[in-house]
Amino acid sequence: MSPQQPAEPAAGRREPLVIDAHGHFTTTPPAHQRFRDEQLDRLARLAEDPSRPLPVPPEIGDDLLRESVEHHQLKVLRERGGDLMVFSPKASGMEHHVADRATARDWARQSNDLVARVTELFPDNFAGVCQLPQTPGGSLADSVAELRRCVETLGFVGCNLNPDPSGGHWTAPPLTDAYWFPLYEAMTELDVPAMVHVSSSCNPAFHTLGAHYLNADTSVFMQLLLGDLFDRFPTLRFVIPHGGGAVPYHWGRYRGLAARLNRPDPGEHLLRNVFFDTCVYHQPGVDLLLHVMGADHVLFASEMLGAVRGADPDTGIAWDDTKRYIDRAGLTPDEREKVFETNARRVYPRLDARLRAAGR
């Protein structure tokens, strides 16, 4: 398991396009957060001032927006040899636990509009994935409408789906429940996948970045193992981020549990529809992920600028420079191409179509 030398490009072979399947707009101009604060302030004072109007989204100029990614995600993407990032609103900022429907709708719309403008400013480097206006226990009608708007009008290629809109209290039914089907029907019709991604934890037992995110990944995989969701929705696709939570590390447990529970082997049952990203921030973890799950089921991703910042003092490698780990994982050229490019084009066909139209 000692780190290998980075792979050399094979002679005569085009280097794969490097598609980072998991990036969030964590560096929005401050006016965006001020708008959110106004929304929350209005809700907090609604009892004393019921006539207070919904806040109006701010005007944010192109220059400011350009700067907010050019010196951050885009700079890091280029420095690390990435070509394109699948880009969505800040995950911890989605805050689906705020139960007011109009607030959720306006917040998702404004967050998605900013992402859309980044994809227009840098069409070669960003493709949009949308935040849904979910609320705890609320109807998914607004989420379906926002998904349609983002895909059909803004050119987005997928969505982020929160399996726990309560923010750490886990009051929603499993993702195999009929509650979610209206969204799956729209996803299937539009042929877009969802990254299964929770937002901030309101539960002091779960740190958002160090527990809640990983627990969600783990929990959802087990929900899917117990159900037959993909019999009903054979083309539905989920990306489970953060290297699949605990799942690849415990792959024997999942296979053994499936056998004990009279469920099909998860390798057969789920991996046509479920993919893992590479947001695992050290070499042994990425090695295990690729070795156990196989290159067909893994999408390159870094989540930068995300949970971790800075570099491992022992190696000098930035924690989330996951391309470095993949380059040293001993993949064949075919496997590299799958992980960096073709899996993402397969899971996000609307991204593939856009790339083809641009001759890439």
Chain positions contacting a copy of itself, by CB under 8 A: 1, 163-164, 168-170, 172-174, 203-207, 209-211, 214-215, 218-219, 222-223, 225-226, 242-243, 245-246, 248-257, 259-260, 280-282, 284-285, 287-288, 291-292, 307-310, 312, 319-320
Is the CB of 76 or the CB of 192 nearer to a copy of itself?
76
3-state helix, strand, coil in the chain (%, to 5): 45, 10, 45
User: What 3-state DSSP class applies to 128?
Assistant: strand
Of the pair 90, 105, the CB lying nearest a copy of itself is at 90
β-pair partners for 194: 159, 238
Whether 303 is a known active-site residue: answer: yes
**Options 95, 146, 303, 337, the catalytic residue:** 303
Q: Identify the CA nearest to 216 among candidates 279, 265, 268, 161.
A: 161
Given the complex with a copy of itself, which of 118 and 289 has the nearer CB atom?
A: 289
Nearer Cβ to a copy of itself, position 179 or 233?
Answer: 179
Taken in order 304, 342, 226, 164, the sign of the CA dihedral is: positive
DSSP of 241-303, one letter per residue? Answer: -GGGTTTGGGHHHHHHHHHHTT---HHHHTTTTEEEE----SHHHHHHHHHHH-GGGEE----
Q: How far apart are CA 360 and CA 352, in angstroms?
A: 9
Q: Which residues contact 4 (CB under 8 A, 6 or more apart)?
A: 328, 329, 330
Distance, CA of 141 to CA of 154 (rounded, Å): 19
CB of 262 to a copy of itself, least distance (A): 12
Q: Render 10-22 in DSSP notation, one character per residue.
A: PTT-PPPP-EEEE
Q: How far apart are the first and last CA of the chain?
A: 35
234 vs 256, beta carbon nearer a copy of itself: 256
CB of residue 252 to a copy of itself, shortest distance in Å: 3
Write down the least CB distance from residue 3 to a copy of itself, Å. 12
Is 213 or 340 the residue whose CB approaches a copy of itself more closely?
213
Question: Where does residue 15 rank: exposed (0-12), middle (13-18), buried (19+ CB within 10 A)?
Answer: middle
171, 203 Cβ separation under 8 angstroms: no
The minimum distance between CB 172 and a copy of itself, in angstroms, equals 7
- Give me the least distance between CB of 139 and a copy of itself, in Å please: 19
Measured distance CA(125)–CA(244) in Å, rounded = 25
CB of 64 to a copy of itself, least distance (A): 26
Nearest to 89 by CA among 167, 33, 164, 145: 33
Based on CB atoms, which residue is closest to a copy of itself, 45 or 207?
207
* Phi, psi of 86, deg, nearest 5: -80, 115
Q: What is the spatial distance between Cα 15 and Cα 340, in angstroms, rounded to a whole number?
A: 10
Catalytic residues: 303
